[in-house]
Amino acid sequence: MNFGMIEFRRWWLMRRFANFSIAAFLAAAIYGQTVVEHSVATAGASAAAAGANGAGKAIGGVFRNLGEILDKAGKVDHAEKTSVVVPKTIVSAPPKDAPPREPARLVPPSKLADPSEITDGISRAELIERFGGPMLSLFDTTGETMWYRSSSSGEIEIKLIGGKVASIYSPPGSKPEAKK
């Protein structure tokens, strides 16, 4: 053998030994990290279980005390007849000199809205005056959205910003008569 081949083999063996040593060291380090993480996780679970054990004993003590109190109260004799008092409700009429009460006012149903009569800039009060209260009204960060029944397209969605009509929209599936 020549000198170059011996040096090459020595270098090759040293290289393999170094790679094996590094791999073994890393495996040991990873195993150690796994053991630490497992210990941390089980310690928390153990502490929780110990607390739950104490809670079980406390609940058992409460029921034990409740049993003792009930035993002191004695046994109920079901043979005895007990009377039940039922309170009577007395309805009184208002005094004769009291003024008559006004009946509750109902909100009139909304009229059918015609999209051609609604223009941008109409105030909320004028809209309600013309068509009555909406079927539904929702408030969000930009303003208010009101829904009315329409005579031509099923329903209309009206967007109010600053108390004035900003846009009118007929939802999909309706006749596209309203403007946007």
Q: Residue ranges per domain, the chain?
A: 1-72, 115-169
Contact 148, 131 (CB under 8 A): yes
* CATH fold of 115-169: Beta-lactamase Inhibitory Protein; Chain:B, domain 1 (3.30.1450)
Structure tokens at 13: 């063996």
Amino acid at 29: A
**pLDDT score recorded for residue 39:** 78
**pLDDT score recorded for residue 49:** 62
**pLDDT score recorded for residue 47:** 62
The residue with tokens 């210990």 is 39
Number of H helices, E strands in the chain: 2, 4
**pLDDT score recorded for residue 177:** 46
* Tens-level pLDDT at each residue, the chain (180 residues): 566 777 888 888 888 888 888 888 888 888 777 877 777 777 766 666 666 666 667 777 777 877 787 777 776 665 666 666 666 666 566 667 767 766 655 555 566 777 778 888 999 888 888 888 888 888 888 889 988 888 766 788 889 998 899 998 876 655 444 444
**pLDDT score recorded for residue 176:** 44
* CA atoms of 151 and 2, how far apart (whole Å): 106
Structure tokens at 34: 């796994």
**pLDDT score recorded for residue 179:** 46
Nearest by Cα to 158 from 143, 147, 149, 172: 147
